[in-house]
Structure 1
Amino acid sequence: MTDTNTNMRLKLPITCFILEIILIILFGVLVEYDKETDARKWHHSNHSEYDNDFYYRYPSFQDVHVMIFIGFGFLMTFLQRYGFSSVGFNFLIAALALQWATLMQGFFHGMHGGKIHVGVESMINADFCTGSVLISFGAVLGKTSPVQLLVMAVFEVTLFAVNEFILLSLLGTKDAGGSMTIHTFGAYFGLMVARVLYRPNLHKSKHKNSSVYHSDMFAMIGTLYLWMFWPSFNSAITAHGDDQHRTALNTYYSLAACTLSTYAMSALTAHDGKLDMVHIQNAALAGGVAAGTAGEMMLTPFGSMIVGFLAGIISVLGYKYLSPILESKLKIQDTCGVHNLHGMPGVMGAIVGAVTASLATKEIYEKGVRSNIILIQIIFCLGFIMKLPIYGAPSDASCFEDSIYWEVPGDEGGHEGQLTTVKTEEFAKPEETEKLN
């Protein structure tokens, strides 16, 4: 099914090689170990080996890393013919983004003698930035080429670092779990790009923009990994001691309450009372997003449960009623519904943070929310850059299809025959199978 336009034989290698060579050169010139990683600096200090930040931060880093590469990757495998691309492109752009994020965040958050110092905390922060890129990836899932995604990652990481600098350094906001810096920014960045890349003839691929039984099961793997590790995500870079302990606890209860309200709203909004797997896969995670900003504050378990409960309700309503409006009225084709999982719960998290903070901090939060809007025009321009016909994007009739960019086992001319066989053998009623035989 590959044509001249979507052939990645030269486009992808050239892009990957150029970007990685640039990164290697920049790392060689600008990056060095921090004081807890450098052998000479560490051993010249008088302390116990176990005081090294590695022993405090690395378990959280592992959890966040699993979320980035397994959680986000498998969450997007719900599309019936796009599993390779969901996991594979997630892997590709995450590997690029974490390297570029190390440089951009180091540049904006402080150089030390002209060098960017790296250690376990910078690894966590780079993964946070990568998470924002992967949120945006969900909005354009199935409609973009890997080259387009790499270009998007380069621009988004840069703008993420700028936005993070404005919020955390200039305005002094507290956003440990990234409700504003990661989720809100990533969601609305992705929505803006999806709006510019709007495809009026996407209905030609509508039959592929859906799930089958096994693809939804794979997506639930991603959901469960994200759900289990979200307390680590929100608490990974908070201060040691009660702050970190409290953040994990608040997130834990928020997610639990969110799951119950998600199941309730999913059944309630269906005319036949049946649960919708889309709601369970996504809205059940909204409590982790909504608890991100206020997680380290004295939100209390009671308050955390209220936050999660409301986040689940808002997210399900968004999937059920708002997503169709965004597509039909605003022409935003949000494949994964990132507005419902990350956008609205992220805004809710910022509001919860403002409410739980002091009056002075509330003013900072309000300014912080506005700072996201400053970048909209730049993001809009990026969308037009990605729309140029040089990146090998799939045609309207070829979206949500692995075989455009991947060698698919057993595939001679697309997935059509293969998928028909699977659906017939696995899901046909016994009497229908006898007729087929």
Structure 2
Amino acid sequence: MIWNTNLRWRLPVTCLLLQVALVVLFGVFVRYDLDADPHWIGSQRNENTTSDMENEFYYRYPSFQDVHVMIFVGFGFLMTFLQRYGYSSVGFNFLLAAFGIQWALLMQGWFHSYKEGYIHLGVENLINADFCVGSVCVAFGAVLGKVSPVQLLIMTLFQVTLFSVNEFILLSLLEVKDAGGSMTIHTFGAYFGLTVTWILYRPSLHQSKERQSSVYHSDLFAMIGTLFLWMYWPSFNSAVSKHGDAQHRAAINTYCSLAACVLTSVALSSALHKKGKLDMVHIQNATLAGGVAVGTAAEMMLMPYGSLIVGFICGIVSTMGFVYLTPFLESRLRIQDTCGIHNLHGLPGIIGAIVGAVTASCANAKVYGIKGLANFFGFDGFKTSWDSSMQGKFQAAGLFVSLAIALVGGIIVGVILKLPFWGQPADENCFEDSVYWEMPEELKSTVLHPEDSTLKPAEP
């Protein structure tokens, strides 16, 4: 089947309607947080604060910059491995992230920052919005090359909404600790995306099979994304941690886990190849799994050696997933996972949730100190009847809640996206930039060469 991929009216109308709606909603509901408001100077006097450096901006903004780079550069370039889909990988990631952060500021604001009729916006809101969009970028990896930009905007609209609900349930109702988002970001994003791509299954996708491979320069561009993500992941996992030791500990744990994951991934990649060679797919993706898996327990007393163990395990699991599990999912379960998000985000996210539950259950006053234990887990608040065992149970419950919302939400959104009027490409035209982008003249003759029988021209 060949669908009409001409987006001349569909994409502009969708973008403009969404942006106008956002402008109206921001005008009605959003105001500056006290730290971004001129009244802050009065607050300084009341709290005897003498330095402008006490403003939350100077504490949080460096972490925000790092997370922001990960979302727009790291995730964008990580997906450029497809030989003829570089424009779309970076460009569509840019589009969905720019829309997603605006919608996330509203959705998360209504749940967490809504006071006196307004959402109060500060730099921490910007970080949390990026976290939310990070989950959308994860899901984007599963449907990469097979959907139109209109479908991506619709998916983002629903996923940000579901993410905010899931995050509120876990963090506010269940009081789960999930600093780096192993459950809220990675597990939810991965299984939401996998469910959507399962619903959008394309039985004739083999017609575009040759364009799913990489070329030398596309893999190099993807490694740029990998390196940005790998370097900034400690900031990602520690960005919204409490001032002081928790943030410091989160950065150290992530740093150690990532380092161990690289060595293990390289070892497994070589060991699983019959000639002992390295596979660039493993180096681009599996090396990041340690950052995903340490996310839930990042602030906890995991200990540096524990972080190394987590990274070690994830390097093995993620690499083996790319070798054995991805082909199985496509051939047996009809899940066409373009970027292998199940191996980088799904499985490591589950491992991270388990590590977090076990680490929380084992927490005690000897390790944290009496005051430190009560303060870290909130046992000195309304949870005075809780203990570490109870916290561990709630951590485990958070994993099942995330999976349930991801699977149910993914089915619903997948059915909506399967409607035939969103401008999606036909099976034989997937993974091809020229379907939606004006290409440079020197590439047009190659891409649209008459000998390329797999690329069908779009209908007018």
Identify the TM-score tier after normalising by the shorter chain.
over 0.9
Name which of 383, 399, 406 aligns with 1:369: 399
Correspondence for 1:212? 215
Correspondence for 1:39? 38
Query: Aligned partners of 1:377, 1:127: CA distance in 2, in Å?
Result: 24
- Match of 2:118, as an amino acid? K
- Match of 1:25, as an amino acid? V
Correspondence for 1:92? 95
Correspondence for 2:457? none
- Whether contact under 8 Å (1:174, 1:293) holds in the other structure is yes
Correspondence for 1:74? 77
Pairs within 5 Å for 1:118-267: 118-267=121-270
2:89 counterpart of 1:53: no
Q: Tell me by how many angstroms 1:42 deviates.
A: 4.0
Q: Tell me by how many angstroms 1:381 deviates.
A: 1.3
Correspondence for 2:279? 276
- Match of 1:372, as an amino acid? S
Deviates more, 1:314-323 or 1:367-376: 367-376
Deviates more, 1:229-238 or 1:373-382: 373-382
Q: Tell me by how many angstroms 1:412 deviates.
A: 3.2
- Match of 2:397, as an amino acid? K
Q: Tell me by how many angstroms 1:44 deviates.
A: 4.1
SS of equivalent residue, structure 2 residue 228: helix
Q: Tell me by how many angstroms 1:372 deviates.
A: 1.7
Over aligned residues, Cα RMSD in angstroms? 1.5
SS of equivalent residue, structure 1 residue 412: helix
Deviates more, 1:206-215 or 1:357-366: 357-366
Query: Aligned partners of 2:94, 2:31: CA distance in 1, in Å?
Result: 25
Q: Tell me by how many angstroms 1:402 deviates.
A: 0.2
Correspondence for 1:389? 420
SS of equivalent residue, structure 2 residue 256: helix
2:437 counterpart of 1:406: yes
SS of equivalent residue, structure 1 residue 81: coil
Q: Tell me by how many angstroms 1:391 deviates.
A: 0.6
Correspondence for 1:299? 302
Pairs within 5 Å for 1:342-353: 342-353=345-356
Closer/same/farther in 2, CA of residues 419 and 211 from structure 1, 3 Å limit: farther
Q: Tell me by how many angstroms 1:379 deviates.
A: 2.3
Q: Tell me by how many angstroms 1:370 deviates.
A: 1.5
Q: Tell me by how many angstroms 1:142 deviates.
A: 0.1
Query: Aligned partners of 1:288, 1:84: CA distance in 2, in Å?
Result: 27
Name which of 303, 320, 323 aligns with 1:317: 320
Q: Please give the per-residue CA displacement for 1:230-251, whole angstroms capped at 9, x wherever unaligned.
A: 0000000001111101100010
Correspondence for 2:410? 379
Q: Tell me which stretches of 4 or more aligned residues in structure 1 moved more than 4 Å.
A: 416-420
Correspondence for 1:10? 9
Query: Aligned partners of 2:420, 2:189: CA distance in 1, in Å?
Result: 24
- Whether contact under 8 Å (2:3, 2:420) holds in the other structure is no
- Whether contact under 8 Å (1:292, 1:349) holds in the other structure is yes
Deviates more, 1:151-160 or 1:353-362: 353-362
Query: Aligned partners of 2:17, 2:78: CA distance in 1, in Å?
Result: 30
- Whether contact under 8 Å (2:329, 2:335) holds in the other structure is yes
SS of equivalent residue, structure 1 residue 45: helix
Query: Aligned partners of 1:44, 1:11: CA distance in 2, in Å?
Result: 48
SS of equivalent residue, structure 1 residue 285: helix
Q: Tell me by how many angstroms 1:374 deviates.
A: 3.2
SS of equivalent residue, structure 2 residue 34: coil
SS of equivalent residue, structure 1 residue 117: strand
Q: Give the total of aligned pairs.
A: 418
Q: Please give the per-residue CA displacement for 1:323-373, whole angstroms capped at 9, x wherever unaligned.
A: 001001110000000000000000000000011102111110121111123
Correspondence for 2:292? 289
TM-score normalised to structure 1 length: 0.94
Query: Aligned partners of 1:283, 1:202: CA distance in 2, in Å?
Result: 25
Deviates more, 1:353-362 or 1:215-224: 353-362
- Match of 1:40, as an amino acid? H
- Match of 1:384, as an amino acid? V
- Match of 1:367, as an amino acid? A
Q: Tell me by how many angstroms 1:109 deviates.
A: 1.7
Query: Aligned partners of 1:418, 1:53: CA distance in 2, in Å?
Result: 59
- Whether contact under 8 Å (1:98, 1:130) holds in the other structure is yes
- Match of 1:142, as an amino acid? G
- Whether contact under 8 Å (2:192, 2:409) holds in the other structure is no
- Match of 1:399, as an amino acid? C
Closer/same/farther in 2, CA of residues 203 and 4 from structure 1, 3 Å limit: closer
2:62 counterpart of 1:30: no
